[in-house]
Amino acid sequence: MPRVKRVILNNAALHVISRGNNRSAVFHSDNDKLRYYTLLRELKDENKIDIFHYCLMNTHIHIILNLNPDSTLSKFMKQLNLTYFHYYRKKYGYFGHFWQDRFKSNIIDTDAHLLQCGKYIELNPVRAGMVYHPEEYLFSSYNCYANSKPDGLITLSPVYLGLSDSAQIRQKQYVDFVVDNNKIQGTVLFFLREPSPLFLEKFKDELCRPSCRSRFTQRVFYSP
């Protein structure tokens, strides 16, 4: 049976997840994570993709990226994961299936959802017991947002930039939001557009299922 096409909207933010096969480790050292990070930096511009947030865990990868009509997501992910696989196979003498299925992509449909999703992935190392505080983890976007640490991979989220004209206030609000679980007020900035009526009609059966985690499209769709 052919796969259903992956649904991607223009000017859309996506939460992309790649996992090792059978949840096996894909990174065994900081050097492995640095190699994947370097690939992300090299390939994002080539494929006209902006990266808002990321977290490289031992067994999986989280990326929140922004697409425009010229973005080539499938090419980007294929280049990224295939090139890293060749690096891993050469370094560790690995044979067999490396990634678990294809990457998953969840459409982020609101500004508040974008903030929550960034928070979720940057707290992954804390929930996993790898660090006590998210700023202690080297391979995530947290320090870029919370501490203005330079990160050539990151394009600051327009929702984050809209929190305040002051960089210091934005950082404080973000830290309070992520670490202390305080709510951020006034984040309806309309950066993310709602799907068109045609989109909603086409997928209304999917969207009404209990497993949908957001108002519109928080499901995984697969492309050929």
Q: How far apart are CA 66 and CA 23, in angstroms?
A: 26
> CA–CA separation, 89 vs 75, rounded Å?
21
Ordered by where they begin, the domains of the chain are 13-207 (3.30.70.1290)
Instruction: Round to whole Å and give the CA distance between 53 and 56.
Output: 10
In this structure, what are the phi and psi dihedrals at residue 187, rounded to the nearest 5 degrees? -100, 15
Calculate Rg over the CA atoms of the chain: 18
Percent of the chain past pLDDT 70, that is, above it, reads: 76
3-class SS of residue 55: strand
Sheet holding 13-19, edge to edge: 50-56, 60-66, 13-19, 104-108
- With CA atoms as reference, report the closest residue to 82 among 134, 36, 32: 36
Tokens of 128: 């996993």
Q: What is the mean pLDDT of residues 131-159?
A: 96
What is the mean predicted confidence (pLDDT) over 68-87?
A: 93
Q: H-type helices in 106-195, by residue range? A: 111-122, 124-127, 142-147, 158-161, 167-179
pTM score, two decimals?
0.80
Per-residue pLDDT tens over the stretch 80-135: 999 999 999 999 998 888 898 888 989 998 888 999 999 999 999 999 999 999 99
Which of the four pLDDT bands, split at 50, 70 and 90, describes residue 16? very high
Dist. CA 123–CA 15, nearest whole Å = 15
216 has pLDDT over 90: no
Of 205, 37, 203, 5, the C-alpha closest to 105 is: 5
